[in-house]
Amino acid sequence: MALKLEPGARLVVATHNPGKARELAQILDGRFELVAAGELGLPEPEETETTFAGNALLKARAAAEASGLIALADDSGLSTAALDGAPGIYSARWAGPGKDFAVAMRNLEDRVVESGREEREAWFTCALAVAWPGGPAVVVEGRVDGALTFPPRGDRGFGYDPIFAPEGGTLTFGEMDPAEKDAMSHRARAFAKLKAAIL
Protein backbone atom coordinates (compact mmCIF):
# COMPACT_ATOMS: atom_id res chain seq x y z
CA MET A 1 0.00 0.00 0.00
CA ALA A 2 1.05 3.60 -0.56
CA LEU A 3 2.09 5.16 2.72
CA LYS A 4 0.43 8.55 2.76
CA LEU A 5 -0.82 10.79 5.52
CA GLU A 6 -4.01 12.62 4.60
CA PRO A 7 -4.37 16.27 5.67
CA GLY A 8 -6.46 16.54 8.81
CA ALA A 9 -5.59 13.05 10.02
CA ARG A 10 -5.48 12.60 13.79
CA LEU A 11 -1.99 11.76 14.98
CA VAL A 12 -0.59 10.98 18.38
CA VAL A 13 2.75 12.69 18.95
CA ALA A 14 4.78 10.24 21.00
CA THR A 15 6.34 12.68 23.44
CA HIS A 16 5.86 13.85 27.02
CA ASN A 17 8.10 16.87 26.38
CA PRO A 18 5.92 20.00 25.92
CA GLY A 19 8.70 21.88 24.10
CA LYS A 20 9.17 19.09 21.60
CA ALA A 21 5.40 18.76 21.10
CA ARG A 22 5.14 22.51 20.38
CA GLU A 23 8.03 22.42 17.92
CA LEU A 24 6.61 19.44 16.04
CA ALA A 25 3.20 21.16 15.89
CA GLN A 26 4.83 24.29 14.43
CA ILE A 27 6.73 22.30 11.82
CA LEU A 28 3.58 20.37 10.85
CA ASP A 29 1.89 23.78 10.39
CA GLY A 30 -1.67 22.75 11.22
CA ARG A 31 -1.80 19.95 8.66
CA PHE A 32 -3.00 17.38 11.18
CA GLU A 33 -5.00 17.08 14.36
CA LEU A 34 -2.33 16.40 16.96
CA VAL A 35 -2.63 14.96 20.43
CA ALA A 36 0.40 14.39 22.64
CA ALA A 37 1.02 11.01 24.26
CA GLY A 38 1.18 12.78 27.61
CA GLU A 39 -2.35 14.13 27.12
CA LEU A 40 -3.62 10.59 26.49
CA GLY A 41 -1.81 9.25 29.53
CA LEU A 42 0.26 6.86 27.44
CA PRO A 43 3.30 5.38 29.18
CA GLU A 44 6.77 6.38 28.03
CA PRO A 45 8.50 3.28 26.68
CA GLU A 46 12.04 2.56 27.76
CA GLU A 47 14.43 3.68 25.03
CA THR A 48 16.48 0.53 24.56
CA GLU A 49 17.79 1.06 21.03
CA THR A 50 21.31 2.27 20.24
CA THR A 51 20.45 4.81 17.52
CA PHE A 52 18.15 7.81 17.15
CA ALA A 53 16.26 6.02 14.36
CA GLY A 54 15.81 2.91 16.48
CA ASN A 55 14.45 4.83 19.45
CA ALA A 56 12.12 6.96 17.29
CA LEU A 57 10.66 3.81 15.74
CA LEU A 58 10.31 2.14 19.14
CA LYS A 59 8.39 5.15 20.50
CA ALA A 60 6.18 5.48 17.42
CA ARG A 61 5.20 1.80 17.45
CA ALA A 62 4.47 1.88 21.19
CA ALA A 63 2.24 4.97 20.85
CA ALA A 64 0.44 3.60 17.79
CA GLU A 65 -0.37 0.30 19.49
CA ALA A 66 -1.41 1.95 22.77
CA SER A 67 -3.64 4.59 21.15
CA GLY A 68 -4.89 2.96 17.96
CA LEU A 69 -3.84 6.12 16.13
CA ILE A 70 -1.12 6.80 13.60
CA ALA A 71 1.83 7.89 15.69
CA LEU A 72 4.64 10.37 15.06
CA ALA A 73 7.74 10.05 17.22
CA ASP A 74 10.93 12.01 17.39
CA ASP A 75 14.23 10.99 18.90
CA SER A 76 16.83 13.68 18.88
CA GLY A 77 19.89 14.82 20.69
CA LEU A 78 23.14 16.69 20.75
CA SER A 79 26.45 15.04 19.90
CA THR A 80 29.87 16.57 20.51
CA ALA A 81 33.28 15.97 18.99
CA ALA A 82 35.13 16.55 22.28
CA LEU A 83 33.16 13.73 23.93
CA ASP A 84 33.27 11.33 20.97
CA GLY A 85 29.61 11.82 20.16
CA ALA A 86 28.20 12.06 23.69
CA PRO A 87 25.63 12.74 24.98
CA GLY A 88 23.99 11.58 21.71
CA ILE A 89 21.04 9.26 22.31
CA TYR A 90 21.44 9.89 26.05
CA SER A 91 20.87 13.66 25.70
CA ALA A 92 17.58 13.68 27.61
CA ARG A 93 18.89 11.31 30.26
CA TRP A 94 21.71 13.75 31.08
CA ALA A 95 18.96 16.11 32.25
CA GLY A 96 17.95 13.64 34.96
CA PRO A 97 14.48 12.51 36.02
CA GLY A 98 13.36 16.12 36.38
CA LYS A 99 14.34 16.87 32.74
CA ASP A 100 16.41 19.82 33.99
CA PHE A 101 18.46 20.92 31.00
CA ALA A 102 20.25 23.63 32.98
CA VAL A 103 21.80 20.70 34.86
CA ALA A 104 22.47 18.86 31.60
CA MET A 105 24.23 21.87 30.06
CA ARG A 106 26.43 22.35 33.13
CA ASN A 107 27.24 18.64 33.10
CA LEU A 108 28.16 18.83 29.41
CA GLU A 109 30.37 21.88 29.90
CA ASP A 110 32.13 20.24 32.86
CA ARG A 111 32.81 17.08 30.88
CA VAL A 112 34.12 18.99 27.87
CA VAL A 113 36.49 20.99 30.10
CA GLU A 114 37.61 17.83 31.89
CA SER A 115 38.32 16.13 28.56
CA GLY A 116 41.08 18.70 27.91
CA ARG A 117 40.14 18.65 24.23
CA GLU A 118 39.78 21.82 22.20
CA GLU A 119 37.12 20.68 19.74
CA ARG A 120 33.85 22.56 19.99
CA GLU A 121 32.17 20.96 16.98
CA ALA A 122 28.70 19.64 17.77
CA TRP A 123 25.67 18.46 15.86
CA PHE A 124 22.00 17.91 16.51
CA THR A 125 20.39 14.81 15.03
CA CYS A 126 16.66 14.20 14.70
CA ALA A 127 15.02 10.94 13.67
CA LEU A 128 11.29 11.06 12.89
CA ALA A 129 9.22 7.89 12.72
CA VAL A 130 5.59 7.47 11.68
CA ALA A 131 3.94 4.17 12.57
CA TRP A 132 0.50 2.86 11.68
CA PRO A 133 -1.25 0.69 14.32
CA GLY A 134 -0.42 -2.91 13.52
CA GLY A 135 1.14 -1.82 10.26
CA PRO A 136 4.14 -0.32 8.53
CA ALA A 137 6.40 2.53 9.58
CA VAL A 138 8.64 5.12 7.98
CA VAL A 139 11.81 6.55 9.58
CA VAL A 140 13.90 9.51 8.36
CA GLU A 141 16.79 11.46 9.86
CA GLY A 142 18.04 15.06 9.72
CA ARG A 143 21.18 16.72 11.07
CA VAL A 144 22.46 20.25 11.62
CA ASP A 145 26.11 20.99 12.39
CA GLY A 146 27.47 23.77 14.54
CA ALA A 147 29.53 24.50 17.63
CA LEU A 148 29.18 24.50 21.39
CA THR A 149 29.18 27.87 23.10
CA PHE A 150 29.44 28.49 26.84
CA PRO A 151 27.88 29.92 28.93
CA PRO A 152 24.31 29.27 27.67
CA ARG A 153 22.70 32.14 25.75
CA GLY A 154 19.02 32.74 25.10
CA ASP A 155 15.79 31.54 26.65
CA ARG A 156 13.99 30.41 23.51
CA GLY A 157 13.80 26.83 22.35
CA PHE A 158 14.42 24.01 24.82
CA GLY A 159 16.94 21.37 25.76
CA TYR A 160 20.50 22.19 24.72
CA ASP A 161 19.48 25.06 22.39
CA PRO A 162 21.22 27.80 24.46
CA ILE A 163 24.68 26.22 24.00
CA PHE A 164 24.48 25.40 20.28
CA ALA A 165 25.26 27.86 17.48
CA PRO A 166 24.59 26.44 13.99
CA GLU A 167 27.24 26.72 11.28
CA GLY A 168 27.42 30.11 9.62
CA GLY A 169 25.73 32.01 12.44
CA THR A 170 26.54 33.65 15.75
CA LEU A 171 23.19 33.22 17.51
CA THR A 172 22.45 30.08 19.49
CA PHE A 173 19.24 28.15 18.87
CA GLY A 174 18.17 29.56 22.23
CA GLU A 175 18.49 33.13 20.90
CA MET A 176 16.88 32.59 17.51
CA ASP A 177 13.36 33.49 16.58
CA PRO A 178 11.48 30.15 16.60
CA ALA A 179 10.54 30.52 12.94
CA GLU A 180 14.20 31.05 12.00
CA LYS A 181 15.24 27.97 13.95
CA ASP A 182 12.39 25.89 12.53
CA ALA A 183 13.50 26.73 8.99
CA MET A 184 16.94 25.18 9.44
CA SER A 185 16.89 22.83 12.42
CA HIS A 186 17.64 19.12 12.44
CA ARG A 187 13.93 18.54 13.03
CA ALA A 188 13.00 20.65 10.00
CA ARG A 189 15.48 18.75 7.84
CA ALA A 190 14.07 15.43 9.01
CA PHE A 191 10.54 16.67 8.36
CA ALA A 192 11.47 17.69 4.81
CA LYS A 193 12.51 14.07 4.19
CA LEU A 194 9.34 12.79 5.84
CA LYS A 195 7.22 15.11 3.73
CA ALA A 196 8.88 13.81 0.56
CA ALA A 197 8.21 10.24 1.68
CA ILE A 198 4.62 10.24 2.90
CA LEU A 199 2.88 13.62 2.61
Residues designated as active site = 75
pLDDT value of residue 2: 54
SS3 165: strand
Question: What confidence score (pLDDT) does residue 26 get?
Answer: 76
Cα distances (angstroms) measured from residue 129 to each of 1, 8, 57: 18, 18, 5
The domains of the chain, with CATH numbers, are 10-198 (3.90.950.10)
Spatial separation of the C-alpha atoms in residues 61 and 39, rounded to whole Å: 17
Amino acid occupying residue 126: C
Spell out the per-residue pLDDT of the chain, length 199, in tens: 457 788 888 899 998 777 777 777 777 777 888 888 988 999 889 999 999 999 999 999 999 999 999 999 999 999 999 999 999 999 999 998 888 999 999 999 999 999 999 999 999 999 999 999 999 999 999 999 999 999 999 998 889 999 999 999 899 999 999 889 988 999 889 989 988 888 7
Between CA 7 and CA 24 the distance in angstroms is 15
Q: Phi, psi (5° rounding) for residue 103?
A: -65, -45
Task: Tell me the one-letter amino acid at 144.
Answer: V
Looking only at the bridges linking them, the beta strands covering 137-148 and 70-80 are unpaired
